[in-house]
Chains A and B, each alone.
Chain A
């Protein structure tokens, strides 16, 4: 079945460091891919998305490219800030699937130190 695997956390970085959170997926067909962010005490917010191979999603300095050949959608940011501290979830669309319309990875907790 379809699934998402993302790197285990927690990840601790200093402010202005480069961030990469790895995400790979297994899917039949051509799903859309998403990154969601969850700040403490809040629900999930869509950070960025890509709907087809080679698409690059970007938002708030974060980027991720849909790589079909490596089945990956790694999240990157060139210079993180303390305010980026949150849990990040990679997800793929699986409309009508038994796991719901979105299949999530386990989440990666990011802590950015000043």
Chain B
């Protein structure tokens, strides 16, 4: 079974631009979560989608948004990029959103550099 895929793997943008990242979950998984990873802040939760609905959201500004499609693929968008948005963006998928031990399977991440 194919793992979580993220595209693109690397991206360079300039301040003020916007960017869209894509995540394809493992087949059959309906939940997708996004995380931002930086050396200073570590792993921070952005949001979670399940069946095309945002189920949970972290403490990020409104410039960060996402969506999920009927095939469970998800995209996240960052508008008006800032230098501080440079990070590794990780997507994780799981079967569902409840239960004691739904495992999250992570993709390789998209490395975003803002110049």
Contact = CB atoms under 8 A, between A and B. Distances in A.
A45 B92 CA distance: 10
A44 interface: yes
Contacts of B90: 43-44
A39 B3 CA distance: 16
A18 interface: no
A42 interface: yes
A93 interface: yes
A49 B46 CA distance: 23
Interface string B25-56: 00000000101000000111110100000011
Interface residues of B, number: 31
Main secondary structure of the interface of A (DSSP, over half): loop
A98 B48 CA distance: 11
A43 B99 CA distance: 24
Interface of A: 32, 36, 41-46, 49, 51, 89, 93, 95-102, 104-107
Interface of B: 4, 6, 33, 35, 42-46, 48, 55-59, 90, 92, 94, 97-109
20 contacts: A32-B101, A42-B108, A43-B109, A44-B90, A44-B92, A44-B106, A46-B105, A51-B100, A96-B55, A97-B56, A98-B58, A99-B45, A99-B58, A100-B46, A100-B56, A100-B58, A102-B104, A104-B43, A106-B42, A107-B43
Given A95-B98, A100-B58, 15 more contacts: A32-B100, A44-B90, A44-B106, A46-B105, A51-B101, A89-B43, A93-B101, A95-B97, A96-B55, A98-B56, A101-B56, A102-B33, A102-B104, A105-B42, A107-B43
Give the top 6 A-B pairs by smallest Cβ distance, nearest first. Answer: A100-B45, A43-B106, A44-B106, A104-B43, A43-B108, A106-B42
